[in-house]
Amino acid sequence: MMIKDPNDYFIDGCGRCSLHGTEQCKVRTWADTLVLLREIMLQSGLEEEAKWGQPTYTLKGKNVAMIYSFKDSCGISFFKGVLLQDDAKILVPAGSNSNVARHLKITSGAQVSELEPHIHAYIAEAIELEKSGAKVPKPTERESMPETLAHWLENDSLLRGAWDLLTPGRQRSYILHVGSAKQEQTQLNRINKCIPKIYAGKGFNEY
């Protein structure tokens, strides 16, 4: 079961797979580095919550950034990263399902120390963007995936693999189902319930 307390993430992981709480969990692979990133995020004054099983940092309820971990790296994902100036050229696209989020990819604790001034600056810029009400470019029809679903897929490589095997029509059925919910938490609940069907290669309306 996905964690609801961000503190649990740094101990046992996100809770979205069978590796939760084991030494094989990718969060434990990057435990020390993730603690360093968390310290930087907490210094920003943003509120720390758990969303998608990940520590997510918000401003008055609006998502600004979140900490993530993969097998080969960990880092910070900026929800409106496409709007950041990225003067240091350290951001990379979050994934094929999102043209908006950007990842600040980390592969060692030493890299966190090296980039710390830039990380603080990028977080501050992301906060100012949120305060200003800056909007990301309008998505095209092909890019109309709900943000909640896009971020879930970006941070769950196994589910993303199953998703990519679905036909466009089946993918669209989930996009419509998730996107029709107005509340973020409702969207997250719908995604969680749909995961078994996605792994089974079925569309939302298939049984």
Stronger pLDDT, 153 or 142, i.e. the higher one: 153
Q: What is the pLDDT of residue 140?
A: 54
Confidence at 206, pLDDT banded by 50, 70, 90 = confident
Q: What is the pLDDT of residue 107?
A: 95
Q: What is the pLDDT of residue 183?
A: 92
Assign residue 45 a region: left if phi > 0, alpha if psi is -120 to 50, beta otherwise? left
| Measured CA distances, 200 to 43, 163, 170, 190 (Å) | 42, 10, 12, 16
Give the pTM: 0.78
Q: What is the pLDDT of residue 18?
A: 85
> For residue 98, is pLDDT > 70?
no
Q: Cα(37)–Cα(35) distance, rounded to whole angstroms?
A: 5
> For residue 104, is pLDDT > 90?
yes
Confidence at 97, pLDDT banded by 50, 70, 90 = low
Q: Cα(173)–Cα(96) distance, rounded to whole angstroms?
A: 19
User: Which token pair is 39?
Assistant: 């310290």
Residue with the two structure tokens 């693999």? 161
Confidence at 118, pLDDT banded by 50, 70, 90 = very high
Q: What is the pLDDT of residue 156?
A: 86
Are 88 and 79 contacting, i.e. CB atoms less than 8 angstroms apart?
no
Pairing between β-strand 54-59 and β-strand 74-78 as defined by DSSP bridges = unpaired
Mean per-residue pLDDT of the chain: 91
> For residue 105, is pLDDT > 60?
yes
- Please give the domain boundaries of the chain with CATH numbers for all domains: 6-132 (3.90.1150), 141-199 (no CATH)
> For residue 141, is pLDDT > 80?
no
Q: What is the pLDDT of residue 100?
A: 85
190-204 residue pLDDT tens:
999 999 999 999 999
State mean pLDDT over 8-23. 89
State mean pLDDT over 68-73. 91
DSSP letters spanning 6-73:
HHHHHHH--SSSTTTTSTT-HHHHTHHHHHHHHHHHHTTTPEEEEETTEEEEEETTEEEEEEEE-SS-
Q: What is the pLDDT of residue 69?
A: 93
> For residue 9, is pLDDT > 90?
yes
